[in-house]
Amino acid sequence: MRIPHFLSAFAAALALACTGDRSKDADASTTFRVALLTPGPITDHSWNAGAYSGLLEIRDSLGAEISHIQTKTPAEFEENFREYGKRGYSLIFGHGFEFQDAVRRVAPLFPKSVYVVTSSQLAGPNFAGIRFAFEEPAYIAGMIAASVSRTGVIGLLGGTELPPVHAGFTAFRDGVRRVRPESRILVSFVGNWDDASAAKEQALAQIAQGADVIFQNADAAGLGVFQAAREKTGVVVIGSNSDQNGVAPDVVLGSVVIDLPRAYLTVARVIRDGRFTGSVFELGAASEVVRYVANPAMPGRVPHAAQVTADSVWQAFVNGSFHLDPDEATRETSR
């Protein structure tokens, strides 16, 4: 008698599963479903962590059903974009410039979904890039770094030289030179975004060359830069992408923040309300998505006069009376 019992239970479960599935399918047309592909771990306190908080914000504020997946290779980018398209997701984020080729290929196949690539200039009927004016707060950070440095040597440390990273570094350098034209600027790249140990050694190498302010943009590897600064007295770090002031409050001067949660929410609202026009989402100083956040645990480190100047330049960015030429940064990258 046991077997039939088991069988009927199994059949009941199967039937339940089927109806469950059907109701979900019916829901699919009405619920707002949002997916996110990140190029790295969401535990990096930086670029990927910010995107994931954005996704959670979309769930909490807009009641969306969400899904996240971590991807590594371009083949995986395409595969997962297809998969989410097939499953009828309304909005699919590819978190970073490196996703744009995959979106260009996959998006036309799934016209009902909208694909959004962060840090990209992409635009089409159902896909678009978000362009963060990261270079505006990076410029401010450069001005502040120059006013804080005692040695006049300033380090830049990145993961790999992606165009958005390059643009940020170029603006930072311009900011430094505006305040101290004679300062020496060192640039190092780890070659990947994971090797925190190598990033730490590279930071130490820059410190050995006299650098006492380091602007890092290396995601998870960047954690090594904070550790290097902790071991050497008088060295401060400027963080990137997320507000990293709390990661190492004793050595972080401030962070060049892209408020990814706010940006994701802004974009998701536009898509949900059907206001998407097929053009690039331009998010700069005026949108409050990008900004420089000073570390509150390190007060009085920046000279007052320098802070006032930096604030006035920031106001000029906000009201549009001063802007950097993004084309110049892009052109230099394509060398």
- Residues lying near another protein in the complex (CB under 8 A): 40-45, 49, 52, 70, 155, 161, 184-189, 191-192, 194-198, 200-202, 204-206, 208-209, 211, 220-221, 223-224, 226-227, 230, 246-248
CB of 121 or CB of 192, closer to another protein: 192
Nearest distance from C-beta of residue 332 to another protein, angstroms: 13
SS3 321: coil
| Cβ-contact 101, 116 below 8 angstroms | no
Nearest distance from C-beta of residue 311 to another protein, angstroms: 30
- Give the number of residues written for the chain: 335
CB of 158 or CB of 254, closer to another protein: 158
CA nearest 290: which of 168, 136, 171?
136
CB of 23 or CB of 160, closer to another protein: 160
CB of 79 or CB of 195, closer to another protein: 195
Q: How far is it, in rounded angstroms, from Cα 201 to Cα 206? A: 9
SS3 131: strand
Nearest distance from C-beta of residue 152 to another protein, angstroms: 13
Nearest distance from C-beta of residue 137 to another protein, angstroms: 23
CB of 234 or CB of 303, closer to another protein: 234
Nearest distance from C-beta of residue 109 to another protein, angstroms: 29
Element (H, E) at 281: strand 281-283
Token readout for 106 is: 């996959």
Q: How far is it, in rounded angstroms, from Cα 304 to Cα 299? A: 11
| Cβ-contact 240, 217 below 8 angstroms | yes
CB of 126 or CB of 206, closer to another protein: 206
Nearest distance from C-beta of residue 52 to another protein, angstroms: 6
Nearest distance from C-beta of residue 42 to another protein, angstroms: 5
CB of 39 or CB of 284, closer to another protein: 39
Beta bridge partners of 290: 258
| Residue 219 backbone class (left: φ over 0; alpha: ψ -120 to 50; beta: rest) | left
Residue 92: C-alpha distances to residues 97, 99, 129, 203 (Å): 14, 11, 12, 36
CA 214 to mean position of chain CA atoms: 19
